[in-house]
Structure 1
Amino acid sequence: MNIALSGSVEPGFEPVAEAFAAGFEGRDAMGAALHVVIEGQSVINLWAGVADQRSGRAWFADTPSVIFSCTKGLVSILAARLVQEGRLDYDAPVSTYWPEFAAAGKADVTVGQALAHQAGLSAPRDDLSEDDIVDWDRMVSVLAAQEPLWQPGSGYAYHALTHGWVAGEIVRRVSGLSVGRYFEELITKPLGVDAWIGLPDAVDDRAAHLQVSPPLSALWAGEAKKPAPNWPFKAMTLGGALPADLVTADGGFNKQRIRAAEIPGAGGLASAEALATIWSATVVPTRGVRLLEPAVVAAATRTRSAGVSVFGGEPPYSRWGCGFQLDSEARRYISDGCFGHDGAGGQVGFADPLRRIGFGYVTNWMMGPEDLRATRILDALRPLL
């Protein structure tokens, strides 16, 4: 398959373009985009394929796609900015800012622990519905009242979706704005990028339509058959609020009702350009904006969680700072010191403070552990730097 690439590549970065193109091999229904910013300047801006196979709509430079857990990284930028401004303290109890969170033995859970997946709230004890997850007040009330699944701070387990409501409510209590509104005011408007936590109806027709590869569907089908309580599986579905694959043809995160809601654990949408530009602005002035200073980046990216989770699991394992996913065997970036977040199906966004890089890759063809698309792009990029 010879995919027709659109966009631009600075001289010397052609191997990265070749690696990007190779990701389309055998995947006629796929669309994707790649953007890399170095020292605040774009060096790679590529897109190709189809945004919606149903209509044949092509992928464009500004096509937004659901970025799933990459959204956690963006919310973590918001929290870090509040720390930088002296309005939030990673070492303070969450209940300092959100008193109701102290219920059921969570009074001493710190902001840093909550952001590092240590709060014991990785999944809801009770099954939730779609109506629940589009209702912000309902979700934060459920999590504030819930007894932890394990002793907070004694270990971690990935808060696949609940992380967003916990982190987002902390941001809301401190900033006075919803997480989507604060994201818009602090980041997307100043940078002039296409990214949202809560997609406006007016731009819904631009969004990519998501499809799930057969191996990923098979993986989740196997998880669904495991005996209850399967807390890691419930962390993804919330007990029925979302399909196991996260999307169906017209449901889950393919549904505008879900995308329009502020679901900051997984529901953000962005173009690749937006992701790369935002992450660049965390480490170097970009379009006149510098979001974070080195001292707060250092504090936010200190390893807080790593290794085997409280529910077990096989390697490779991820590594976490204060909401940021750090370079690890599970997600290799350029090198140690990089921080960002990947997302279900193949999305990747991160910053490299040493090389002053912002990186964004988004796709609507969702793959599982067999996915090497972004990995091969990064393998091609690394020796060129």
Structure 2
Amino acid sequence: MTQLIPRVEGHCDDRFAAVRAAFERNFRDRGDVGAAVTVRVEGRAVVDLWGGWADAARDRPWTRETVVNVWSTTKGATALCAHLLIDRGLLDPDAPVAAYWPEFAAAGKEAVTVRQLLAHRAGLAGPREPHSLDLLYDWESTTSRLAATEPWWEPGTGSGYHALTYGFLVGEVVRRITGLLPGAFLRREVTGPLGIDFTIGLPEGEAHRAAELIGPAVEVTPEQAARYAGLTPVMLAALANPVTGAADANTAAWRAAEIPAANGHATARGVAELYGIFAGRGRAGGRRVLSPRTAELVREGQGSCRDLVLGAGFGHDTEAGLGLWLSGPHGMYGPNPRAFGHDGAGGSFGLADPEAALSVGYVMNRMGPHIADDPRKAALLDAVYGAL
């Protein structure tokens, strides 16, 4: 169904006019309500556009300062925290997690490495016991349960998307080393000094800037119903324990919590600037944030395989690096197979392509049904790479 194109504001270099056109078509043809996109090349914003409405009632315009929950696009920020510690010699990716978090050695996990945590290969894609939203909001309860949990598969033998647990697992390692939760560490070390508009959770005083998430309005087809009926226990643990959605993410409790895999709040500009640290091989805002070697480490592939949680959804093998996903032969992040990034459930994404000195951030409030590879993302990336 087509709809009217709302007023689009911001700037777009003439060379990237096709990106503006694709952004506008996302409103007209692909259901966007409110959204923003930023494209940075060689550290400069060549596209910075926003438009639409920040609420379902379409009473509140989306502005340059509107932030929104970006779901798993948050994982790029959490991975960055770990890589900062690797860069400083405080964290060894090949060391056992238990060297930093002794309780983690329970239930046969004494040999699980930090590398396996970063690459979704630790076998801890979800809790084995029922886990409520209230427990998810309780850092100590969630991390204690994960420390005691037996892996779903032999760690290191395969990849299975750690949808919510990733942030608690990597985040607790960060906390054990620094004494800070990842949100505070990120703010102190990166986003605060560089003025990047990206937070894990949302400070109470910023609530007026937050867009209202709108859940996907889709009917379940018989094919989808059959797929859901075939979900394995590990898939259910990863994706539905607990069930989370737009209504939850709009609450004060969600925004106040520390969920470093899923409750980052950002502008598109903030996403592009944060992922731009990787695209700039560790440099951003005239500063060296990571050494080139560590910035390269984040995309060190850990082996292509059919993901044990998302495999049926993708329909093809995927490959994780140390915290982000590689574009690979299927072009998840454009034509460069060594580009990398992360999608957020419903449509948001961040991309880094060091070879093109390119980073992209896209955020929106109307969620689509896709965990990754939303059609709006594909349209924007086709236009971006077509202009390079």
TM over 0.5: yes
**Structure with greater proportional helix content:** 2
Q: Secondary structure at the match of 2:120?
A: coil
Give, in angstroms, the shift of residue 318 of structure 1. 2.6
Looking at structure 2, the residues matched to 330 and 4 of structure 1 have their Cα atoms a distance apart, in angstroms, of 31
**Counterpart residue number, 1:40:** 43
Looking at structure 1, the residues matched to 316 and 95 of structure 2 have their Cα atoms a distance apart, in angstroms, of 31
**Counterpart residue number, 2:22:** 19
**Counterpart residue number, 2:332:** 331
* Residue 131, structure 1, aligned to residue 134, structure 2: yes
**Counterpart residue number, 1:186:** 189
**Counterpart residue number, 1:295:** 293
Give, in angstroms, the shift of residue 102 of structure 1. 0.5
**Counterpart residue number, 2:316:** 316
2:31 and 2:366 in contact (8 A); partners too: no
Give, in angstroms, the shift of residue 3 of structure 1. 3.0
The AA in structure 2 aligned to 1:258 is: W
Looking at structure 2, the residues matched to 220 and 273 of structure 1 have their Cα atoms a distance apart, in angstroms, of 37
Q: Which runs of 5+ in 2 are unaligned?
A: none
Q: Secondary structure at the match of 1:42?
A: strand
TM-score (norm 2): 0.91
* Cα distance per residue 1:101-131 (max 9 Å; x no partner): 1100000000001111111110110001121
* Cα distance per residue 1:229-276 (max 9 Å; x no partner): 5321331221xx334xx223xxx1111201210101111111000011
**Counterpart residue number, 1:226:** 229
Give, in angstroms, the shift of residue 228 of structure 1. 7.2
Report matched runs for 1:104-253 at 5 Å: 104-215=107-218, 222=225, 226=229, 230-238=233-241, 241-243=242-244, 246-248=245-247, 252-253=248-249
Identity %: 38
The AA in structure 1 aligned to 2:258 is: E
Give, in angstroms, the shift of residue 53 of structure 1. 2.1
Q: Which runs of 5+ in 1 are unaligned?
A: none
Which stretch shows the higher mean deviation, 174-183 or 287-296?
Answer: 287-296
Q: How many pairs are equivalent?
A: 378
* Residue 53, structure 1, aligned to residue 63, structure 2: no
Q: Secondary structure at the match of 1:122?
A: coil
Q: What's the C-alpha RMSD, in Å, of the aligned pairs? A: 2.2
Structure 2 CA distance for partners of 1:28 and 1:282, relative to 1, 3 Å: closer
* Cα distance per residue 1:290-320 (max 9 Å; x no partner): 3222211222211114321346536133320
Report matched runs for 1:1-16 at 5 Å: 1-16=4-19
Residue in structure 2 matching 1:70, options 57, 69, 73: 73
Structure 2 CA distance for partners of 1:322 and 1:223, relative to 1, 3 Å: farther
* Residue 268, structure 1, aligned to residue 272, structure 2: no
* Residue 360, structure 1, aligned to residue 358, structure 2: no
Looking at structure 1, the residues matched to 141 and 61 of structure 2 have their Cα atoms a distance apart, in angstroms, of 38
Structure 2 CA distance for partners of 1:208 and 1:318, relative to 1, 3 Å: farther
Give, in angstroms, the shift of residue 289 of structure 1. 2.8
2:306 and 2:316 in contact (8 A); partners too: no
1:118 and 1:153 in contact (8 A); partners too: yes
Looking at structure 2, the residues matched to 129 and 374 of structure 1 have their Cα atoms a distance apart, in angstroms, of 31
Looking at structure 1, the residues matched to 223 and 236 of structure 2 have their Cα atoms a distance apart, in angstroms, of 8
1:191 and 1:278 in contact (8 A); partners too: no
Give, in angstroms, the shift of residue 334 of structure 1. 4.9
Looking at structure 2, the residues matched to 225 and 330 of structure 1 have their Cα atoms a distance apart, in angstroms, of 26
Residue in structure 2 matching 1:31, options 31, 34, 38: 34
Looking at structure 2, the residues matched to 116 and 70 of structure 1 have their Cα atoms a distance apart, in angstroms, of 15
